[in-house]
Structure 1
Amino acid sequence: MPVLRRRRTALGATLLLAMTAAPLTGCERDVSTGPAPSPVRPTAAGCPTALARATEAVRRAERTDARWTGPVAGPRAARGKEVVYVAQSMTNPGVAGTARGVRDAARAAGWSVRVLDGQGTPAGIQAAFGEAVTLRPAGIVVGGFDPRLTSRQVAAATARHIVLVGWHAVDAPGPSADPPLFSNVTTRVEDVARTSADWVITHSRGRGGAVLFTDASIPFARHKSQLIRAELATCPGVRLLAEENIPLPDTGSRTPQAVSSLLSRYGARWTHSVAINDVYFADAAPALRAARRKGTGAPFNIGAGDGDPSAFERINEGAFQTATVPEPLAAQGWQIVDEFNRAFAGAPASGYVTPAHVATAANTGGATTWDPPGYRTAYRRIWTGGGAR
């Protein structure tokens, strides 16, 4: 699926405002290794305490049967509301997947939804947002872009008392005063970063050599990579061999060359990789394949966020990606509708943040998305008045 393989996620949307930063460099250290189709098994763990903590955290994150921890109470669904989803780009699977979730939830609530495609450019996003404001809907979704890019349109929407709810619009989940969002629906970057690093610690059994792929031009991505580094550092047995700074728009052209260089430099010492976005592994695969590495062997790769369908395909097929920490796109679409409904009723935001989840071939069941169980039932009960008060 070429669109999926070349997709850019909500992180890519923030490139529209990013400033170029100097590349980050890693330093080479000695690392023990033992690449195999299963986790590396050294003779002794390099960080017993950190390994035990990380193993328990990953075990919880890999569960697929956890009970619903989101809202179970709230206002009945308002009648006949219209919302407009302003999309960074509908070729972005994260944005498109959330838009589908909003549409699905709106049908359940008895609302109408219109999607306007910003086509991935500042001018396109501003035009789409401007059109959304002229439609005078009850609410507008800021879908995968920084609302500071559309400050004039945001001000116009606020002046017309149009409720704004973001999806990956700012760094943190929940309400935002500046820019003015009733709520921003996203996972916590701290949770995603820590979980992905814990997975490396666990999978390597406390001894490995890791490479981190990031885009230092994006403040959000730079912050995420800093958090990953900090968590990896809790286990001295897992050494950070290098940090590759490759801007998201350049992953197709630069990642294969970087991977070839890393293989030449580190060889078998390179056992694991973490990337701030799954797209790096789509572009790393040709170089790993050319080096005759096995798709199920080292380096074992995990995406720290996103989890688009192509990442699930690589994981399920054993094609140079072992895990991802995915966004629950459909569930987040339903949460967006619930947040609007709370705003329309004069209630506070729900405060719910989806826990980080680790998807592997062992727990996906062949699926190409992840959503927590029970969310549709919970939201329907709330909107029909059946939820607890």
Structure 2
Amino acid sequence: MALACALAASALVACERGSSTGPAPGLPEPTRAGCPAGLARAEAAVRRAERTDTAWDGPVAGPPAVPGERIVYVAQTMTNPGVAGIAGAVREAARAIGWGVRVIDGQGTPAGVQGAFAQAVALRPSGIVLGGFDPRLTSQQVAKAVGRRIPLIGWHAVASPGPSRTPRLFTNVTTRVEDVARISADWVVADSHGRAGAVLFTDASIPFAHHKSDLIRQRLAACPDIRLLSVENIPVQDTGTRTPQEVSSLLARFGRRWTHSVAINDVYFADAAPALRAARRKGAGAPFNIGAGDGDPSAFQRINSRQFQTATVPEPLSQQGWQIVDEFNRAFSGAPPSGYTAPVRIATAANSAGATAWDPPGFRAAYRRIWGGG
């Protein structure tokens, strides 16, 4: 394992702990120094994603509010800031439309999520949210809910936004994982001017996250002088205990060759900070870190204070929570899903203006108008 990781530092081979040490199938081998075309493309994409002069481009029409509904939010784990942020936004939107909400925490384990989902079905709610977990983990509970005609809406539950036949979801609310992976990798290319030693943090136990990190690997591999030093497979629920020691090990192995990091969730950088600080690394210095989701308030705080995180590709957590409620209202009304998917954005200290979240402007007013029949 150590030999494979050492080779990765010089030959674009990722070493993912607990899995194969070889290159991902289909990844190109380095053929020349630098990547001028790729760098120009990445820089243009990053400039677009950093723009702040955007307007609401989501739904402006839909069915008026159905009164008196009750929904249950089943969370993969409330220690995941994105999952918790969506839960809070669903509660806020439910108050606005006049519904009741219950949140049940799956505690981040298969048995816990299955138990939480079974409890949700037993409550016979109007609808159930699958908050950040693969429905295949709860196939029996999903089948029971479908049999009882309880609409199901996912958040990061399957790989793509929109309706799903297998598993049966009215819709899945998420940004497009391909877009998030692409712009995260492009940021590393642009920020490093096409020359970086990168580390990728992922959770291979979550198919959505594993797919995202595979896409990031492929995008980085297109630039020969972006060297993927290591892929660290750390379950999200274990980041607090495992990330500090893994970061210390990475610092010892790669030293100054480690210039950039990408993580499938910002929480990894919260737990990396103590180890980087102990190694006397500067908060505004290398490794320069970008989170490929979720953009929770603590990530923005690290970015704005320049403390071991430079950028994030934030999910619009509040907007997506309101969208989940709006999608349920469409389901209860016999209407189709809205079809809306929020665009990707990069948040940095330069463009966040001290904010601790990002959401498309005007979404609350738009949804209130829809639900009020305006």
TM-score interval, normalised by the smaller of the two chains: 0.7 to 0.9
Q: CA RMSD in A?
A: 2.4
Find the residue that maps to 2:351 and give its secondary structure: coil
- Quick check: 1:28 aligned with 2:16? no
Alpha-carbon distance, 1:299 to partner:
1.1
Within the candidate set 150, 164, 187, 1:162 is matched to: 150
Structure 1 248/205 Cα, relative in aligned 2: closer, same or farther at 3 Å? same
Alpha-carbon distance, 1:30 to partner:
8.7
Alignment of 1:246-261 (within 5 A): 246-261=234-249
Within the candidate set 360, 370, 373, 1:382 is matched to: 370
| C-alpha distance in 2 between matches for 1:275 and 1:133 | 33
Alpha-carbon distance, 1:178 to partner:
1.5
* Residue 219 (structure 1) aligns with: 207
Contact 1:137 1:162 in 2 (8 A): yes
Letter in 2 for 1:57: A
| C-alpha distance in 1 between matches for 2:133 and 2:117 | 11
* Residue 197 (structure 1) aligns with: 185
* Residue 28 (structure 2) aligns with: none
| C-alpha distance in 1 between matches for 2:247 and 2:107 | 31
| C-alpha distance in 1 between matches for 2:207 and 2:75 | 21
Structure 1 92/299 Cα, relative in aligned 2: closer, same or farther at 3 Å? closer
Alpha-carbon distance, 1:355 to partner:
1.3
Within the candidate set 355, 361, 366, 2:354 is matched to: 366
* Residue 219 (structure 2) aligns with: 231
Find the residue that maps to 2:8 and give its secondary structure: coil
Higher RCO (Cα < 8 Å, 6 or more apart)? 1
Structure 1 166/231 Cα, relative in aligned 2: closer, same or farther at 3 Å? same
Contact 2:81 2:267 in 1 (8 A): no
| C-alpha distance in 2 between matches for 1:145 and 1:300 | 29
User: What is the TM-score when the length of structure 1 is the normalising length?
Assistant: 0.83
Contact 1:338 1:379 in 2 (8 A): yes
Find the residue that maps to 2:277 and give its secondary structure: helix
| C-alpha distance in 1 between matches for 2:167 and 2:8 | 39
Contact 2:262 2:290 in 1 (8 A): yes
Letter in 2 for 1:267: G
Contact 1:64 1:372 in 2 (8 A): no
| C-alpha distance in 1 between matches for 2:222 and 2:47 | 18
Letter in 1 for 2:352: T
Quick check: 357-366 or 112-121, which moved more?
Answer: 112-121
Letter in 2 for 1:284: A
Alignment of 1:96-111 (within 5 A): 96-111=84-99
Letter in 1 for 2:93: A
Contact 1:147 1:169 in 2 (8 A): yes
* Residue 50 (structure 1) aligns with: 38
* Residue 265 (structure 1) aligns with: 253
Alpha-carbon distance, 1:57 to partner:
1.2
Structure 1 30/126 Cα, relative in aligned 2: closer, same or farther at 3 Å? closer
Letter in 1 for 2:53: D
Alpha-carbon distance, 1:346 to partner:
1.6
Find the residue that maps to 1:347 and give its secondary structure: coil
Runs of 4+ aligned residues of structure 1 deviating over 4 Å after TM superposition are none
| C-alpha distance in 1 between matches for 2:81 and 2:287 | 26
Q: State the Cα deviation string for residues 214-255 of structure 1 (Å, max 9, x = none).
A: 233443333222211111123223222333333444434443
Within the candidate set 306, 309, 327, 1:339 is matched to: 327
| C-alpha distance in 2 between matches for 1:361 and 1:219 | 31
* Residue 8 (structure 1) aligns with: none
Structure 1 133/193 Cα, relative in aligned 2: closer, same or farther at 3 Å? same
Q: State the Cα deviation string for residues 101-123 of structure 1 (Å, max 9, x = none).
A: 11221222232223233343444
Gaps spanning 5+ residues in structure 1: where? 1-23, 32-44
Letter in 2 for 1:348: P
Quick check: 275-284 or 87-96, which moved more?
Answer: 87-96
Find the residue that maps to 2:9 and give its secondary structure: coil
Find the residue that maps to 2:102 and give its secondary structure: strand
Alpha-carbon distance, 1:296 to partner:
0.1
Quick check: 297-306 or 361-370, which moved more?
Answer: 361-370
| C-alpha distance in 1 between matches for 2:69 and 2:372 | 15
Contact 1:304 1:324 in 2 (8 A): yes
Contact 1:209 1:270 in 2 (8 A): yes
Gaps spanning 5+ residues in structure 2: where? 13-32
Within the candidate set 152, 170, 178, 1:182 is matched to: 170
* Residue 124 (structure 2) aligns with: 136
Letter in 2 for 1:355: P
| C-alpha distance in 1 between matches for 2:324 and 2:154 | 8
User: What is the TM-score when the length of structure 2 is the normalising length?
Assistant: 0.86
Letter in 2 for 1:138: S
Alpha-carbon distance, 1:280 to partner:
2.3
Q: How many residues in Structure 1 have an aligned counterpart in Structure 2? A: 351
Alpha-carbon distance, 1:308 to partner:
2.3
Alignment of 1:317-328 (within 5 A): 317-328=305-316
Contact 1:314 1:321 in 2 (8 A): yes
* Residue 69 (structure 1) aligns with: 57
Contact 1:65 1:373 in 2 (8 A): no
Contact 2:81 2:294 in 1 (8 A): no
| C-alpha distance in 1 between matches for 2:268 and 2:246 | 11
Letter in 1 for 2:159: D
Letter in 2 for 1:126: Q
| C-alpha distance in 1 between matches for 2:121 and 2:324 | 18
* Residue 299 (structure 2) aligns with: 311
- Quick check: 1:81 aligned with 2:62? no
